[in-house]
Amino acid sequence: MALISKVEAGFYRIPLEVAVSDSMHGEMLAFELNTVRITDADGAVGVGYTYTCGRNGAAIDAILRRELPELLIGEDADRIEHLWNKIWWAQHYGGRGGPTVLALSAADIALWDLKGVRLGQPLWKLLGGNADRVSCYAGGIDLDYPLEKLLAQTDGNLKKGFRAIKMKVGRKRLSEDVERVAAMRRHLGDGFPLMVDANMKWSVDEAIRAARAFQPYELTWLEEPIIPDDVAGHARIVREGGLPVAAGENLRTLWEFKQLVATGGVTFPEPDVTNCGGVTAFQKIVHLAEAFNLPVTSHGAHDVTVHLLAAAPNGAFLEAHGFGLDRYIAEPLRIEEGLAIAPSRPGHGIAFDWQGLEALRA
C-alpha cells in the first residue's frame, strides 16, 4: 500500500519569449504554471501540473495548498478513482469547474505519475499500451502575425519535424481569414493536414459562413468556432458548415463532453488533461468518443497528453504548443516525421528544473 505522506504545491509565472495572441484572449505575455508533488511513505514522488493564460493561478494554488493535503495525506495513492471522487465531491458545492477542476486535474496527473514511478512503467503502457507514438501538429498562436511571419513560423515548425499545422482565425474581416488560409494552403500544398482555430470568436451564423468560406482549402478541422456553452449551436455548425469541428478545450467535465458528443456537436472531441479532471477523466472522454466512433485530439500539456493519445485506439492528432515550458523540462517532447514519441521513462517522464522555476515563483 502506497500511503500519501506529503502534498506540495508550486505556483510560477512563465514569461513567453514572444508575445502571442488569439481572437478572444488578446495578447499574452506569460502563462501561469501550477504544480503539485505527491510523495508516498516510501519516498516515491509523482508530479502533476496545470496552467492558465495569465489569470486565476493564485486561486488554483490556494486549493492545492489548503484543500488537497487534508484530502490526500494518509490515503492509498493507488486508489486513484476513489481519490478523484473524494476530491470532486469535497469541493463540488464550492465549484464544479474553474480553479477547482484545474487543481483536481493537477493532483490526478500526479497520482498517475506516482503509480507509473512505483511500477517502473511509462504512463502510455499503464493506460493500455496501444502505441508509443501519435500524430502531432504544431499549434500556432499567431492571429496577429503578418502573413510573412506566419509562413516563416510554419517553415520553422516543418524543420522541427511537424507534418501538420494549425493557425488562428477570427480576424475582424472574414476575407482576411480566407486570404491567410488560402496562402497557407498554397504554402503547404495539397493534402497537408491544416487546421484553423477561432477561439470562440463567432456567433453560430458567422461560424457557418466562415466554415463554408473555408471549404475549398481542405481543412482537417475548424476548432472552437463558438462559445463552449452553446451545444445546439455546435450541432448546427457541424450540420450546415460542411467542415469537421474540433471542440472541448474549455469543457470541464465528462458530462459536458457527453452533451456535446451525443447531440452531434463535435467531430474531434478535444479534452485538455490539465482542466478536464486529469488523466482519469481524459480516459473516460476518450472511451465516450470511441463509443460514438469519433477520433480524439487534445489541447495543451503535450508532454503528458502524448501518453494519453498514444494509448488511445481512437487518438488522432496531439497538439504541441510553444508556451516556453520546454526551457524548464529535462527532456522535452520529441518529434520524428510528424509523430510525437511517448517516453519510455516511468510515469509521464517529465522532470522539471525546480531550481530554474524557483526564480519564477509567483
Which residues are catalytic, by number? 168, 299
The Cβ-side half-sphere exposure at 356, using a 13 Å CA radius, reads 12
Q: In whole angstroms, what is the distance from residue 123 CA to residue 336 CA?
A: 20
Q: What angle in degrees, to the nearest 10, is found between the helix axes of 80-91 and 99-119?
A: 160
Q: Which bin fits 43, alpha (ψ -120 to 50), beta or left (φ > 0)? A: left
Distance set, CA 154 to CA 15, 24, 204 (Å): 22, 22, 29
Sequence-separated (6 or more) residues with CB below 8 Å from residue 93: none
Strands 221-223 and 194-197: parallel
Pull the grid cell for residue 42: 516510501
The three-point CA angle 140-132-40 to 5° equals 95
